[in-house]
Each structure stands twice: as C-alpha cells, then as structure tokens.
Amino acid sequence: MNTQQEEQVDRHICANCGGTIKWNIAKQRLECASCRTPYEVRTTVERVEEHDFAGYVQREGERVSFPETSVIACGGCGAHIAVDDTCTATVCPMCGSTQLLERRQEAGVPPDGVIPFRIDQDTAQQNFSRWVKSRWFAPNRLKQAYQAGKLQGIYLPFWTFDACVTSHYWGQGGETYVVEDKDGNRDTRIRWFPVSGVVEGSYDDLQVCATLHEASQVVEKVLPYNTVDNTTPFSSSYLSGFLAERYAVPATEAVETARKQVYSDQEQQAERDILSRGYDRARVSSLDITYHTLTYKHVLLPAWTSAFAYNGKQYMYIINGESGKVGGQRPYSIPKIVAAVGAAVAVVVGAVLLLTGAAAPGAAAADQPDALICQMESPWQSWDNDMIELT
C-alpha cells in the first residue's frame, strides 16, 4: 500500500473499495464490512505492557486516553464515551439517556490492552432472551419491553493489577477440648495460643472495573473476563464500529480495591498456615503486608449493553462480550408474587384440613397476605436486588 492508502486504513477506510474496516466477530479478524478484504491489526507494541504503579500519576497527565476519537458526555449518568467516525451514539449505552454532548477529552492513561469481541449481537440478544424468560415473577410485558432496547457494543474500562507480597501475621491457634460436669453435660471449649508467621503471595491480573459506580454493580454480575490469556495489545482498529467508555475511576482509587483482594487472600493463607501447625481453630489478629512489586495496566473489555423502559423506569442489562454471561436489572410483578404466596397458603390450609378433618362451620376465610412494595433509592440495582413493580 502507498502512503495515502495506509492513511485510509488508519482511519478504518478500506483501501480496496472505500468501505468501513471493522472487527469481524465470527472470523476473529479485521476486515472490510463491504468487500471482506482482510487487514492486519497494527499495534505499536508486540505484547501488553505492565507499568510500575509508582509512575502512574505522571503517566496519566501526559496524554489523553483516546487521541483518535471524539468523546461524548452523558448528562444522565455522567459517563464519557469515545466514538469514532464509524460509529454513532444516540443514547447512552450505560443508562439510556439521550442527553449526549460532545466534550473535550481530559488527560488520561491510554489503553494498554483489549479483549476483542467474541460474542456477536445476535448471540447476545438470544442469551438475554433466554435469561429473561427464565426469571420467576417477571411481568408479562417485560418480555416485550426488553426487545425495545437496542444492544450497543461497548468496551468497558478496567484496571488490572499484578503484585508480589510477603506478609507477617500475628494471631492465635485454638485447641478444642470437652469438659463434662457432674450431671454428664458436655461442653466444647477452645484453648487459644499465640502464634505468628510469614506467608507470601503472587497475584496476576486482579480485575477492578473502572466504570461509574452504579453501572459497575451490574458489570460485576457478568465477571470474570479472561484477561490473563485473551488480552492483546491495544489498537484503535478494535474500536471501529464500537463505543468505548473512558475510565471514571482512576488507578489511584482502583488500587485500593485490589489491595483489599490481596489482604483477604493473605489473611486466608495465614489462617491455613496456623491450621497446618496442628491447631483446630485459627484467627488472625493483625497482618503486615509488604509489596515487593505492584504493576498495573489499563484494558478495555467487551460488552453488549442496553437500557430499556418499563412503566416509566429505566432498566439496564449487560452481556459479557467474551463469555456471553448476562446480568442486569428487571422489575418484579406483585400480582404474580401474591398469586404464588396465595397458592402456597392454599396448599398448606388444604393439607391442614385433610389432617384435622373438616373445617369448623362458619370459619373465617384466611386473610390475604399483604403485598410489599420496595422502592430503591438508586436507579441502578443488580439482579440480586431487583425492584418490585406493580403491573
């Protein structure tokens, strides 16, 4: 290719027919969407680079995250979405709002790696359809309402952290023994002994979602991603035809979540170390962790997202673009819940009547159970904290 053709390819324009170059999910390659001419993904590095966390602040201020794209800001949830010339956005993929305005990019760390999409839009929609239909107590109209939300492919921002640590711990090891009183009553007790020791750990790709807090609660339902094996060096070519969110949580905040993961694992290792000494019980009083190395990288991970309206409220769902796992929000149907409770009560009453004979004449009918209506404060809730909705 000549220089002009190379410039076209850099702008995701096919040098053969002028069509748009996009990532073909089925073929797992970059190609022209019109003439199917394949292209190599061009990157500036051969492998995904890990960065010393000590240099993060300086690196963040050196450039913007997406120098080759425009950024729009959502007036509804505050998300900043990168959009190139091959993709348009009329609604926010994180909350469904139409309040989108172009914004000047803030300084930020560019992506180091990316997991390209492996699940296409049709498969993602089918997965979600099956998932919704399997939900108990879902309003009948939900099955039609979710189809109104158009799926958008978006790369979500994540930080991954690697660490090598050594921990000194102090705690107690317990030996159980049984005492018996004069009446033969037995009581199990624990005799505690002070213990201390050293444990070590090596951690690879501790994942921390860097999207907005409310949306991250839904994202957690579709984890994990296989960042260890499937992350490739970043290229803007992967973004052609997709959106990408700029990270809302800087690594200086995300690292605290990673440190909590390390602490929890080191504490468990310390407890196992105490038990390995022959004790029946273990508890750790304090833990002093030394980080020998701590590195990070900024990665973009694929997801299909949409927000759909139901009874005047917005509900979000996400499908993992690597594994197809589904998570999101949905309303409950109070009539279905009441009907199920009523049916259960009827079964119990019927069983009691069969066991005790016939009910006394003129006995009062069983009271209907009250319906509980829960209204969450936040518009974002995970599937495990679903909202109850009247239909």
What are the pLDDT digits (tens) for 190-220?
Answer: 999 999 999 999 999 999 999 986 778 889 9
How does residue 337 score in pLDDT terms, banded at 50, 70 and 90? very low
* Residue that has been written with the tokens 């994942």 in this structure: 207
In this prediction, residue 342 carries a pLDDT of: 58
pLDDT of residue 65 exceeding 70, the answer is yes
**Could you tell me which residues come within 8 angstroms of residue 66 by beta carbon, excluding any fewer than 6 positions away?**
82, 105, 110, 236, 239, 244, 246
In this prediction, residue 151 carries a pLDDT of: 82
- What would the mean pLDDT of 58-72 be, rounded to a whole number? 80
In this prediction, residue 10 carries a pLDDT of: 67
Give the best-scoring range by mean pLDDT among 33-42, 148-157, 195-204, 217-226. 195-204
- What would the mean pLDDT of 11-33 be, rounded to a whole number? 90
Listed by start position, the domains of the chain span 1-40, 47-330
Give the best-scoring range by mean pLDDT among 1-10, 63-72, 276-285, 365-374. 276-285
Detail the DSSP E strand segments found in 64-145.
70-74, 80-83, 100-103, 113-114
**Could you tell me which residues come within 8 angstroms of residue 155 by beta carbon, excluding any fewer than 6 positions away?**
114, 238, 239, 242, 243, 244, 245, 300, 301, 302, 303
What are the pLDDT digits (tens) for 124-141?
Answer: 988 888 877 765 545 555
Distance of CA 336 to the CA centre of its chain: 30
Distance of CA 41 to the CA centre of its chain: 27
pTM of the model: 0.78
pLDDT of residue 272 exceeding 80, the answer is yes
Q: 145 or 294, which is more confident? A: 294
In this prediction, residue 177 carries a pLDDT of: 94
* Cα–Cα distance, 192 to 176 (Å, whole number): 9
Token pair for 302 = 């694929």
pLDDT of residue 71 exceeding 60, the answer is yes
What are phi and psi for residue 357, nearest 5 degrees? 105, -130
Least confident piece of the model among 104-113, 201-210, 254-263: 104-113
Give the best-scoring range by mean pLDDT among 182-191, 272-281, 355-364. 272-281
Distance of CA 353 to the CA centre of its chain: 50
Cβ atoms < 10 Å from Cβ of 155: 25
Token pair for 310 = 């139901």
pLDDT of residue 304 exceeding 50, the answer is yes
